[in-house]
């Protein structure tokens, strides 16, 4: 008998991630994705044979570096990120749970999938490699964690311009790490304003209707030595 070995991935798996190099030289999460794309490929098989040989033999041929296709959920926050980088070449790391990874560069584009009845809106990121994949044994020093919102935030809200019960919307937001700074920005302050509280209510967001129309409120969570993260809310004022 021999010992049975449980693969550590079964007991320690924490998930992989697709990271992109930012302006500060660190890699952080591009956006939440449903896959990471493939790295490497199987070599082509070259048959060797000659007249009179009863059996052919083979050798390895060249390997390809295929385009990477990465599924994602389609909504304003993710599409905004992709709109900023589409058509550009960027550096990426496919990070594994033990901080090993594969580094490569590639040109980014994306498309939205057909929408089926009862399905979520989804799309595909395509990264066309411009370099071959490079295995990195220790990615820890290359990676920067990302601030995240841990509170549910509506994608769309409706308010009324007239003062009353639906004139404002208040969110008590939380983040990880908990001491991150949240900065709100309204795309149309003549329609709706957004402001954070102070001191004990620093994470309390108040959105106030001003006049009929629509505005996108962008919330940016940031902290030193972390990558920032954004969430948006479409505010419709009637």
Q: What is the pLDDT of residue 46?
A: 67
Q: What is the pLDDT of residue 84?
A: 96
Contact predicate 207/193, CB 8 Å: yes
Q: What is the rounded distance in angstroms from the CA atom of residue 143 to the CA atom of residue 114? A: 34
- Name the CATH code of domain 15-41+59-142 (choices 2.60.120, 2.60.40, 1.10.150, 2.30.110): 2.30.110
**Model pLDDT for residues 178-218, shown as the tens digit of each residue:** 999 999 999 999 999 999 999 889 999 999 999 999 999 99
The whole-chain average pLDDT of the chain stands at: 88
**Model pLDDT for residues 59-105, shown as the tens digit of each residue:** 766 667 788 999 999 999 999 999 999 999 999 999 998 899 999 99
Q: What is the pLDDT of residue 7?
A: 43
More confident residue, 43 or 170: 170
Residue 45 pLDDT greater than 80, yes or no: no
Q: Residues 220-234: what's their mean pLDDT?
A: 95
The fraction of the chain above a pLDDT of 70, given in percent, is 85
CA distance to 17, 30, 88, 137, 172, per residue, from 33 (Å): 8, 8, 19, 23, 27
Which CATH architecture fits 148-237?
Sandwich (2.60)
Q: What is the pLDDT of residue 85?
A: 97
Confidence of residue 17 (pLDDT cuts 50, 70, 90): confident
What global pTM score does this model have? 0.82
Q: What is the pLDDT of residue 59?
A: 73
Residue 57 pLDDT greater than 80, yes or no: no
Residue 5 pLDDT greater than 50, yes or no: no
Domain boundaries, the chain: 15-41+59-142, 148-237
Lowest-confidence pick of 21-35, 50-64, 103-117: 50-64
What DSSP assignment string belongs to the chain?
-------HHHHH----EEEEE-TTS-EEE-S-BS-----S-PPPEEEE--TT-SS-EEEE-PPP-PPEEEEEE-SHHHHHHHHHHTTSEEEEEEE-TTS-EEEEEEEEEEEEPPPPTT---EEEEEEEESS--EEES--GGGB--B-EE-S---SEEEE-SSSSTTSEEEEE--EESTT-EEEEEES-TTTEEEEE--GGGTTEEEEEE-SSEEEEEEEEEE-TTSB-EEEEEEEEE-
């Amino acid at each position: 008998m021999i010992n049975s070995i449980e693969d550590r991935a079964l007991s320690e798996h924490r998930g992989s991630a697709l990271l992109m190099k930012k302006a500060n030289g660190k890699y952080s999460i591009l956006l939440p994705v449903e896959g990471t794309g493939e790295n490497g490929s199987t070599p082509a098989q070259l048959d060797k044979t000659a007249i009179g040989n009863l059996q052919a033999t083979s050798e390895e041929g060249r390997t390809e570096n295929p385009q990477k296709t990465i599924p994602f959920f389609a909504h304003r926050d993710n599409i905004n990120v992709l709109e900023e980088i589409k058509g550009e070449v960027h550096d990426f790391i496919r990070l594994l749970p033990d901080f090993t990874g594969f580094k490569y560069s590639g040109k980014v584009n994306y498309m939205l999938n057909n929408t089926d009845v009862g399905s979520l809106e989804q799309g595909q990121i395509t990264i066309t490699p411009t370099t071959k994949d490079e295995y990195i044994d220790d990615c820890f020093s290359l990676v920067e964690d990302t601030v995240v919102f841990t509170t549910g935030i509506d994608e769309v809200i409706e308010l009324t311009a007239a003062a009353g019960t639906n004139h404002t919307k208040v969110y008590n937001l939380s983040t990880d790490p908990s001491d991150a700074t949240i900065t709100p920005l309204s795309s149309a302050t003549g329609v709706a304003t957004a402001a954070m509280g102070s001191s004990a209510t620093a994470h309390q967001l108040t959105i106030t209707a001003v006049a009929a129309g629509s505005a996108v409120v962008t919330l940016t969570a940031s902290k030193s030595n972390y990558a920032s993260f954004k969430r948006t809310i479409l505010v419709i004022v009637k």
